[in-house]
Amino acid sequence: MNKTILITASILGITAIILGAFGAHGLKPLISIEAQQTFETGVRYQMYHAIFLLFVGSTVHIRLKFKKQIYYFTLIGVLLFSGSIYGLATNALTTFNFKIIGFITPIGGLFLILSWFSLLVNFLKIKD
């Protein structure tokens, strides 16, 4: 499981850097400043959670049960939260109206919160 978590973290980190560069350079002349800031929010949260997964996959202080929960909650959260933000920020560039699926952004945020909550519960269950 650790290897899967670490590989996923690496992929999320790589794609966050690529998307961040694309947003800062490629999208700059195409979308509004507000949309650029929105896109950057998606990139920032994706990178935060890539680093979070690096920690989760590297530590021995998280039980396997919680590692699995954290991994899936984080992956779903990033896909829904950051993914929907990318769509909403670039909505003007596509024929698909991402505003109709904008409700998944807070659902993704909830999954990210659940991943951190799982980490907290794991730590609370550690016997000193």
Structure tokens at 53: 């997964």
What span, in angstroms and rounded, lies between the C-alpha atoms of 68 and 72?
A: 6
Cβ-proximal residues to 14 (8 Å cutoff; 6+ apart), any chain: none
What pLDDT does residue 94 have?
A: 87
What pLDDT does residue 62 have?
A: 97
What pLDDT does residue 55 have?
A: 98
83-127 per-position pLDDT tens digit = 999 999 999 898 888 889 889 999 999 999 999 999 999 999 998
20-68 per-position pLDDT tens digit = 999 999 999 999 999 999 999 999 999 999 999 999 999 999 999 999 9
Structure tokens at 25: 């350079």
The number of beta carbons lying within 10 Å of the beta carbon of residue 50 is 21
DSSP line for 49-67 = HHHHHHHHHH-SSS-HHHH
